[in-house]
Chains A and B, each alone.
Chain A
Amino acid sequence: MLTAEQLGHLRHFDNLSRQLPNDWSSMQGKGVGQDDFGGYRFQLAYMAYALALAHVHWLPAAPGVFKGTFERLIEKILLPEVWMYWRDTSRGGAIFNQHLGDRLHEEWNPVVRDNIMYSAYVQSMALLYHYLFDDDRYAKPSALSFRHWSFFWGGEEKHFDYDENSLNDHIYWQMVENGHLGIACEPNCIFQICNQPAILGFRMHDLVTGGSTAEEVTRGYEQAWLQFGRLDAGGHYNMMLLADTKTVLPNEGKTPWVDAWCGTLMNMWNREFVRANYPRQVRELLDRGRDGTMSVRSTSPREVMGQRVVADSCDFGWVATWASEMGDSETLDGLLAHADRHMAPTWGDGGLYYPRNDAETDAQGNRTLVEPLTGNALLGYARLNVPDGLWRLYNEPWDRSHFTEPALAAVARDIDVSEAFFDRAKRTLTFTIRRREDVAGSGIISLRNVDESASWKLAPGFVLSRDGGVLSLRCPPGGFQTIVATLR
């Protein structure tokens, strides 16, 4: 059963998804122009991934809790404010690429070349949605459309149409062209990490269409990286590869996010490898506090060309998600306890998050730094995940009968669902809910694949009714109640 904190994270994701277009309140990080790892795209994507994990592992019979939020997150990641950095980054990008400046050009289409740090999130979110909700809305022509037009400058509208299949195909063929080494983020910069979401997307595409692209790509990917090594000399994940010179940039500084982000995701298809290296790698990144709390030791920001690099590393958040995937409850609990003690957990509109704080530490030296990606998405992800959660999502998919089982198809905004599952052996749908009084909503749950003929165990005040052919449950305000429907 979901805890109050887990429910709080889900509600915070929902609250952020409902912000008006281009209202990025509480999502703005230190960096400028969406260049760095704290960008909106990462926050939106990892909230979506966390929703997927929560749906699969905690509330499999409650798609209605997640579907609308998921749609709004996808709608937001398509907004030009999220991807317009590519117009500039495509011209050269990182400091490693000054020699390429005259070859590269301004590119408005945010998915047509490189930029896997954006395209793979759109691809994987759309395909996760299709798989989780058995809904092909993003497979329709132009369902994933990137559009920008300005009254004040810019001439004709920039308009690029894709759908989940055409985008998936496009990413796949870029992988092939690159010899399965992966696709670059900034031009010429192939990060191990940023190709993992594309693999998740391929797997979801396979689940939806019956293909085997993910298996093919991971096999090719393993082969291609053999000559470079997945780990550096110190046993940490190599950060990236410069495509033109085939130069590997190691994680020589033991930067936590490099290991933790990669390990969080790569576990889905490379579990034995990730798990074999985790204990040693994570040990070098952690600081133990009192009472079992734990924190993460970040490296100092880089100094390049006389400039200090301003970026959201999100080290703490990534180590938390990594520990959650590894099932390392001691580390996960220690990190979350530290966050609850030193990172100002905040409740707003029923949602729980850790607000941005740019101060590295408090006066006692406790880590207080919180980036929006960590505070909005990653700590929630970590709290909602289960051991091997992404691995199970990837490797133990639902069969088709899942979508014929009784479920909560739509859930009003004022209802919290802490449990929802269908027991196939007993043929019972069980869900635990409460209607909040501090959030506006209709208090109605729409049900599917179950009708009045089931044997219903309802708490006082709950009323079943049929509205336009849909069976609905009207819920009174109050505390949590468990409802059971047994099919006849």
Chain B
Amino acid sequence: MKPGGEFHLIDHHGVEVSDATYHGRHALVFFGFTHCKVVCPRALGRLTRVLDALGPLAEQIRPLYVTVDPERDSPEVMRAFLERSYPRFTGLTGSRPQIDAAKRAFRVFARRTADPDDPDGYAVPHSAITYVLDPDGRYTTHFTDAVDEREMTERLREILS
């Protein structure tokens, strides 16, 4: 079964959303958490540069950042985090069952582990996969963090055109 499908979450403005909210345009979906020290900053920065490189074509894409750490990532926290550094993205959070359901739908790995370097004492290592959904919300493809920016830009350009 391909990843993707139905989800019910809350965006970083506090509005209840679902997968259907984003139909009509392609979506780029990345799962992470705002306290992430390495994977998320690298991925969100990379995706931002790819979207910049796409120019006007990027208007056809909704970039979504779904937290795997809803206990800390409230809508307000996500909004502040994204608007400060990655303003192209809309943050999505929700209750623990909602997030777990979204993780299952996208076949995401994320597991809370102890992290003595974190102020709260934990981190949530997670998979670093960017999903591309078509305007009907169906899985089109995915990119791992091994795919470089140029290749991702070109493949997205092909998908969008």
Q: Which residues of A are at the interface with B, using a C-beta cutoff of 8 A?
A: 169-170, 173-174, 176-180, 212, 215-216, 219
Complex CA gap A170/B1 in Å reads 6
**Chain B residue, CB-CB nearest to A181:** B109
Complex CA gap A212/B146 in Å reads 10
Complex CA gap A170/B2 in Å reads 8
Task: Say yes or no: A178-B146 contact (C-beta < 8 A), given A169-B2, A170-B1, A173-B3.
Answer: no
For B144, the chain A residues whose CB sits under 8 A away are 216
For B107, the chain A residues whose CB sits under 8 A away are 173-174, 176-177
CB pair A179–B111 under 8 Å, yes or no, is yes
CB pair A177–B109 under 8 Å, yes or no, is yes
Could you say which of A169, A180, A216 contacts B146, with CB atoms under 8 Å apart? A216
For A180, the chain B residues whose CB sits under 8 A away are 109, 127
**Chain A residue, CB-CB nearest to B103:** A177
For B146, the chain A residues whose CB sits under 8 A away are 212, 215-216, 219
For B3, the chain A residues whose CB sits under 8 A away are 173
Complex CA gap A180/B3 in Å reads 16
For A219, the chain B residues whose CB sits under 8 A away are 146
**Chain B residue, CB-CB nearest to A173:** B107
Q: Which residues of B are at the interface with A, using a C-beta cutoff of 8 A?
A: 1-3, 107-109, 111, 125, 127, 129, 144, 146
**Chain A residue, CB-CB nearest to B127:** A176
CB pair B129–A176 under 8 Å, yes or no, is yes
Complex CA gap A170/B127 in Å reads 16
**Chain B residue, CB-CB nearest to A172:** B107
CB pair A178–B109 under 8 Å, yes or no, is yes
Apart from the given pairs A173-B3, A176-B107, 13 other A-B contacts in the complex at a CB distance below 8 Å: A169-B2, A170-B1, A173-B1, A173-B107, A176-B108, A176-B129, A177-B107, A177-B108, A178-B109, A179-B111, A179-B127, A216-B146, A219-B146
List of 10 A-B pairs having minimum Cβ-Cβ separation, nearest first? A179-B109, A173-B107, A177-B107, A216-B144, A177-B109, A176-B127, A176-B107, A216-B146, A176-B109, A178-B109
Q: Is the interface of A mostly helix, strand, loop or mixed?
A: helix
Cβ contacts A to B, 24 pairs, < 8 Å:
A170-B1, A173-B1, A173-B3, A173-B107, A174-B107, A176-B107, A176-B108, A176-B109, A176-B127, A176-B129, A177-B107, A177-B108, A177-B109, A177-B127, A178-B109, A179-B109, A179-B125, A180-B109, A180-B127, A212-B146, A215-B146, A216-B144, A216-B146, A219-B146
**Chain B residue, CB-CB nearest to A178:** B109
Q: How far is the CB of A288 from chain B (nearest CB, A)?
A: 46
Q: How far is the CB of A244 from chain B (nearest CB, A)?
A: 11
Complex CA gap A176/B125 in Å reads 12
For B109, the chain A residues whose CB sits under 8 A away are 176-180
Q: How far is the CB of B48 from chain A (nearest CB, A)?
A: 22
Complex CA gap A174/B125 in Å reads 17
**Chain A residue, CB-CB nearest to B146:** A216
Complex CA gap A176/B1 in Å reads 13
For A212, the chain B residues whose CB sits under 8 A away are 146
Complex CA gap A215/B147 in Å reads 11
For B127, the chain A residues whose CB sits under 8 A away are 176-177, 179-180
Complex CA gap A174/B108 in Å reads 9
For B129, the chain A residues whose CB sits under 8 A away are 176
For B108, the chain A residues whose CB sits under 8 A away are 176-177
Q: Which residue of A177, A212, A215 has the most chain B CB atoms within 10 A of its CB atom?
A: A177
Complex CA gap A212/B142 in Å reads 12
Complex CA gap A177/B3 in Å reads 11
For B125, the chain A residues whose CB sits under 8 A away are 179
Complex CA gap A2/B21 in Å reads 64
For A178, the chain B residues whose CB sits under 8 A away are 109
Q: How far is the CB of A345 from chain B (nearest CB, A)?
A: 48
For A169, the chain B residues whose CB sits under 8 A away are 2
**Chain B residue, CB-CB nearest to A175:** B109
Q: How far is the CB of B140 from chain A (nearest CB, A)?
A: 14
Q: How far is the CB of A198 from chain B (nearest CB, A)?
A: 16
Complex CA gap A100/B94 in Å reads 28
Complex CA gap A229/B127 in Å reads 20
Complex CA gap A216/B1 in Å reads 20
Complex CA gap A219/B107 in Å reads 19
**Chain A residue, CB-CB nearest to B142:** A176
Complex CA gap A180/B127 in Å reads 9
Complex CA gap A22/B111 in Å reads 44
**Chain A residue, CB-CB nearest to B144:** A216
For A170, the chain B residues whose CB sits under 8 A away are 1
Complex CA gap A180/B126 in Å reads 10
Q: How far is the CB of A220 from chain B (nearest CB, A)?
A: 8
Complex CA gap A177/B107 in Å reads 5
Complex CA gap A216/B2 in Å reads 18
For A216, the chain B residues whose CB sits under 8 A away are 144, 146
Complex CA gap A174/B109 in Å reads 9
Complex CA gap A178/B146 in Å reads 18
**Chain B residue, CB-CB nearest to A179:** B109
Complex CA gap A148/B99 in Å reads 37
Complex CA gap A169/B2 in Å reads 8
Complex CA gap A73/B1 in Å reads 27
